[in-house]
Every structure is written in C-alpha cells, then in structure tokens.
Structure 1
Amino acid sequence: MRRVRARMLEFLWQHFYTSFLRFWLKWFIRQVTRKCELQRICSGYKQGAPRTVQAEYSLESSKNKVLRAALNVEENMVEECAEAIMMEKKVVSQKDPTFKLNLQVCLLQISGYKRLYVSVEDLRKQMFDSEKAEHENMLLKLWDLLVPSVKLESRITKQWGDIGFQGDDPKTDFRGMGMLGLTNLVFFSENYTDVARQVLSHSNHPKLGYSYAIVGINLTEMAYSLLKSGALKPHFYNTVPQSPKLEHFHQLYCYLAYEFDKFWIEEKPESIMEFNRYREKFHDQVKKQLEEPDVTLYLRVDCK
C-alpha cells in the first residue's frame, strides 16, 4: 500500500513539475540570466553525454513545435534547424557565439542515435538467405577469418561446431538477430582478427568453454536491447561527436565480445549450463557502466 502511495505521489509531483512548475522556473531563470534553457545547457555542461542528455530532455519537454521537431532533424538540415531554434528563442549570435555550434553537435547526436536504431533494426530484420551470394560469402568469410588453416569440407558440415554454431548449417542460428548477428561476428573477426581468434581459443577451453558463435549472437541481442532502450546514449554521445553510424554500433559489439570473454574466464562458471546467470550478471555490469556520465566503452586489448 505504501509503495502504491509513493508511486502516486511521485506521479503527481512529476505531472505538476512538467505541466506547471518547470515552465515558471525556466521563465524566472531566463529573466535573471538573460539566457534560454538551451543556452544555459550548451554553456554550462561539457561536450558529450552531460550536455547532449540535458539538451535532449529540454527538447523533449518543450511544447514548442520547432524545438520538438529538432529531435528528428535530418543530418543535412541540422544547421538550418539550429538557426530556427535561435530565431524562436531570440538568441543573438554576437552575444553567444558558441551556442549555434554546440547546439548543432547535440542535434546531430540526438537525431543520429534515432537513425542508428533504425539502421540496426533493419539489419536485424534481414534474415539470412542461402540464395543470396552476399550472405553466403559473408558466412564463408567468417570461417576463413577465424580458422584460415582449415578448409571447410562442404557448406553444410559439422565443422561449423568448431566455431560455435549449433548445427551443420549456421543459417538456423541467425533467426533471432538476422544479418545483424552475422555482420557483428564478421566485423569483430575482420577488424580485430588476433583478438577474435584468441577469444575463439578461449571458447574451446576444456572446462571453461562456450559456443563462440552462439554467444556472439547472444551479445548482439544484448547490444541491440541496450540501443533500443536508450541505454547506449551516454556512450555514443561521449565517443561520437557527430551522428553515430552502424560502424560505431559494431565497435560497441566488439567491446562486448572481448569483455564478456574476459568476464567468463575470470568468473570460472561450473558449466555452460550457468550461461544465462552469468550473462545477466555481465549485462548488469555493462548497464551500471552506462549510468556513468563520462562512460566510453572502447575495446582496449591487454598487452601481454
């Protein structure tokens, strides 16, 4: 009962703040500082997530159509959009010469994150098709990158199990994440070949082994869910000064693939049957990292 009351009070306060109090607080502060909220954000927070997160909240909370439209501005219209906001808020460039540029960076990151999600979702929905040469070639490329010294006996073979697929034909394992899963695996293997082979060797450990490809696809799902929920915003806002692209998402996947392997080895699970528990523990660790305002999830390889 107390919990219900607490939630009700929180809801009422939030409603009161957003619909009434926030407006008058903004009005009062502007009279004192002679700056609109976006100006105060762009000058008062350092570049990256601290600034862009605040700017995004300000735009989302606004009832002004020009400001709300800025959340989904096209990349080639960002400068024009920033100028429209300045006109709407009566911001004079001579009095605040850095505002326009700082605002443009925020708009690029905010709208770019939304476009990135659309691109990732499109790739996820694209199912692996054996009839498409592009898909088949990508799958064979994965094998050649990971085990170049071994030739596949045939397209459908138990050898796929050597790199962590479940059956004789890997296409069945891509159903959940579609071509996004395969693209992530190939990107990791192509851009961090030595690291990917090292991770593969760890996955074949007699006691701490796991299915490399299946776990990789599972990590794709983790990256996808973090992107969809918005949890990756601080990371991308801190690491990409413009609009984040698919390559940046693939780089984030590489970080997860490498860090999960380290995590698994350090945790020393009793068996692969405990995968779900340790997967959730790793997921929680990543989410906690993403709560830090200065978070940057870069793949940093240990030098040994």
Structure 2
Amino acid sequence: MLGSIWQCLYTNFLRFWLKWFLRQITGRCELQRICHGYEPGAPRTTRIENSLKSSKNKVLQDAVNVKEDAVEGCVTQIVKEKNIKEQKDPKFKVNLHQCLIQISGYNTLFTTVEELRKEVFDSENEEHEKMLLKLWDLLMPSVKLESRITKQWGNIGFQGDDPKTDFRGMGMLGLVNLVFFSEKYTKAARHVLSHANHPSQGYSYAIVGINLTEMAYSLLRSGALKPHFYNTVAGKPHMHHFHQLYCYLAYEFDKFWVEEKPASIMEFNIYREKFHDKVKGLLLEPEVSLILKIESKNCPDD
C-alpha cells in the first residue's frame, strides 16, 4: 500500500519538480541527461523509452510508437518541444535518433514475428513442404525419408506421422526457427538432436524446439527482450536477429537439460519453467547479450 502511494505521489507530483530542478541546475532536459549520462544500448534506450512514456507531453508520448520513416521528423519535433539548443548539444539529435530507431525497430520486429506465427503450415504450399523436407535433410542427411507421412518424423522429435499438426500453436514461425538453427549451426543442431534422442534422458527435439519458439515469442511480446536487442543491435533488429535469439535458447536449453538430468520427459514442464526463469533473470541485467557461443569441443566447425 505504501509503495503504491509513493509511486502515485512521485509520478503525479515529485517527478515533475525533480525534473524541473535538475534542468535548472544542469541546463539540460531529462532526455539530454540520459543521452549524456548513459552508454549506448539498453542502459540509454530503455531510459529514453521510459522517459517518453511517462511524459505528459503528447509529442513525447507518441514518440515510442513512431514508425521508422518518421523518426527524423519526430526527433526534430522533440527538440522544438523541449526547447533544446542544438548548437549547445550537437550530439543529442544523433543519440535520440538511434534510440528511437531501436524502439521503433523492436515494435516492427514483433509485428513481423506475429505475422509469421499466424501463417499456418499448409501441406499444399510447395515452399512450406520444401522447408519441412529441408529440416529432415539437415538433421538426418544419411537417412532417406521413406514418404511424406511416416513414423520416421519421430526420429527428430515430432509427435505423429505428419509434422504439420505440431505447428498449430506457432505456425510457420516454429518451422522457420527449426530450419534456421539446423542450417546456420548444423553441427550444433545435430549435437543437440543426439542428446534429445538419448534413450533415458532424451526429449522430443522438434516439439521442444517449437516450445522454445513460443518462449522466444512470449518474451518478445512482453518486451522482456528489449534489453537484449538494444544491446546487440545498434539499429533496428531484423527477423534474423530473432532467429539468432532462438538458436541461443535451443542450444542453451539442451545444455541446461543435460546438466539438470531430469528423471524423464514427464518433468519437461518443470524444467522448462526453470529454464524460462533463468533466461528472464539474465534479461534483467543491464548489459545482457544472449549471443550463442558454440563450444568448439562439441562442434569444431561451427
């Protein structure tokens, strides 16, 4: 209760006067102080985003939803609204522009990811079918697929004879992630698959992979991935950056599973949540960077 009262008091009264006081002392508005006081990446962009959201000025509030092609004009508007003298602070516009590009890029990335998630796997679509068969060839190069519908799909962790039913939750996003990992880090993917096929401590490789796609998607949707992308992508993040994040999750989950040694696959949900909590904990660190690092002893060529 006391915390809520303090938050309300700070937001509606104290914050305004604190900002006013600091501007009188420093000669800079809050946005300028953030740009000068924090390093590029999450430390700066997160604070700029929070400052814009909490502003009572509509121009500043709307800046967090600006489209990429309108960023330059938005920066100019903010400079005018805050009465910033460019000659006294020539780097401000450049720094704010970069922050808004990252903020806008994150929003655009989520839209792109959401569109792919909503795209249903269609067995009548030739491109969809090619991608599914490519996944098999990447993971099982020495084994020929007997037919399109076969129990062999279980060898790479699908539940039934036809994998299309397993993509219902994440749509084409789940398949694209699986293929990206298998193509970009082929040796690592096969190494992970060998663990997944362990007779007593294995797990369903493809099903878990799709589950990790859902994890990546939910972290993106909630905004939890902002620190990661703000730290690792100087401009706007693209789809391949999201796929790279998935690769990190796929590889690190396998390591986590092997180290934890669950009694059986029946404990998957328990360890999935433990891993999820671990990732969320990492994302709370200001300098977080969830970049996949392949252990050379396992995958020397990746």
TM range (shorter): over 0.9
Report deviation, 1:143.
Answer: 0.7
Taking the aligned partners of 1:124 and 1:13, their CA distance within structure 2 comes to 41
Report deviation, 1:230.
Answer: 1.0
Alignment of 1:1-304 (within 5 A): 8-304=1-297
Cα-to-partner distance string for 1:255-280 (whole Å, 9 max, x where unaligned): 00000001111111111111111111
2:260 maps to amino acid: E
SS at match of 2:88: coil
Taking the aligned partners of 1:10 and 1:112, their CA distance within structure 2 comes to 34
Tell me the TM-score normalized by structure 1.
Answer: 0.96
1:198 maps to amino acid: H
Tell me the TM-score normalized by structure 2.
Answer: 0.96
Cα-to-partner distance string for 1:63-106 (whole Å, 9 max, x where unaligned): 11111121111112212211111111111222111111110111
Taking the aligned partners of 1:191 and 1:84, their CA distance within structure 2 comes to 43
Report deviation, 1:150.
Answer: 1.4
Report deviation, 1:28.
Answer: 1.1
Taking the aligned partners of 1:55 and 1:253, their CA distance within structure 2 comes to 27
Report deviation, 1:10.
Answer: 2.1
Report deviation, 1:34.
Answer: 0.7
SS at match of 1:241: coil
Report deviation, 1:9.
Answer: 2.4
SS at match of 1:166: coil
Taking the aligned partners of 2:251 and 2:194, their CA distance within structure 1 comes to 12
Taking the aligned partners of 2:84 and 2:240, their CA distance within structure 1 comes to 36
Comparing 33-42 with 83-92, greater Cα deviation is found at 83-92
SS at match of 1:187: helix
Partner of 2:300 in structure 1? none
SS at match of 1:35: coil
Runs of 4+ in 1 over 6 A off after TM superposition: none
SS at match of 2:291: coil
Backbone CA RMSD of aligned residues: 0.9
1:204 maps to amino acid: N
Report deviation, 1:151.
Answer: 1.4
Taking the aligned partners of 1:118 and 1:302, their CA distance within structure 2 comes to 33
Taking the aligned partners of 1:19 and 1:121, their CA distance within structure 2 comes to 35
1:251 maps to amino acid: Q
Taking the aligned partners of 1:74 and 1:225, their CA distance within structure 2 comes to 22
Report deviation, 1:220.
Answer: 0.5
Give the fraction of aligned pairs with identical amino acids, expressed as a percent: 73
Taking the aligned partners of 1:87 and 1:95, their CA distance within structure 2 comes to 14
Cα-to-partner distance string for 1:214-248 (whole Å, 9 max, x where unaligned): 00001001111111111111100100111111111
- Structure 2 unmatched ranges of 5 or more: 298-302
